[in-house]
Homo-oligomer: A and B are copies of this chain.
Amino acid sequence: MRGIAYWLSAVVVLTGVVVCMAPASGHADGQAAPIFGVTIPPGYRDWRLISVAHEAGDLNDFRAILGNDVAIRAYREEKLPFPDGTIIVRLAWSYIASEENNKVFGRAQSFVAGAPINVQLMVKDSRRYAATGGWGFAQFKDGKPADEAVHKTCSPCHESAKARDFVFTHYSP
């Protein structure tokens, strides 16, 4: 009986692990971004939400910022600097008017996410990325990394958020 109970519980453990890992969605073909060598983490589309944003102007995108477990824990505990292992991913879609929602509201007020634009990542590894505040950066579109010139702009831009460990996004409860 104990043997059966052991194997049964082992099955439950494995099932639990599979459920926890969840199906990895999004692109994860292993191509590394230039300079930082960051790759797309499998299953990032299943990560929890940090917050949302909209950049108007030339970008005109809708953003969702997700974090892995280390990131979410650090945000909720208001821990700065973020610990090694933190990964923050910023998804962007085009910012479009929703005609179907506007019909319901009876006025032009509704904006939703359209086609995907790109995915950006911040990966905390204080040794590997010591020269850029402990963060590695990456931008991907359809699973392909942007070029070196794009990646050279990441760290200088994030410099202005140095007081918050180079991270712009605040957590939304």
Contact = CB atoms under 8 A, between A and B. Distances in A.
Interface of A: 2-3, 5-6, 9-10, 12-13, 16-17, 19-20, 23, 25-26, 45-49, 51-57, 59, 62-64, 66, 76, 91, 93, 95, 98, 100-101, 103-105, 107, 109-113, 116, 157, 160-161, 168-170, 172-173
Contact of A51 (B2, B6, B107, B112): B112
Nearest to A114: B172
Contacts of A26: 173
Contact of A17 (B2, B16, B51): B16
A9 B101 CA distance: 50
Contact of A111 (B3, B54, B91, B112): B54
A116 B173 contact: yes
A16 B113 CA distance: 34
Contacts of A13: 9, 12-13, 16
Contacts of A16: 12-13, 16-17, 20
Given A13-B16, A16-B16, A113-B172, 4 more contacts: A26-B173, A49-B66, A59-B109, A112-B169
Nearest to A73: B23
A173 B119 CA distance: 11
B45 A173 contact: yes
Contacts of A168: 100-101, 104
A49 B103 CA distance: 25
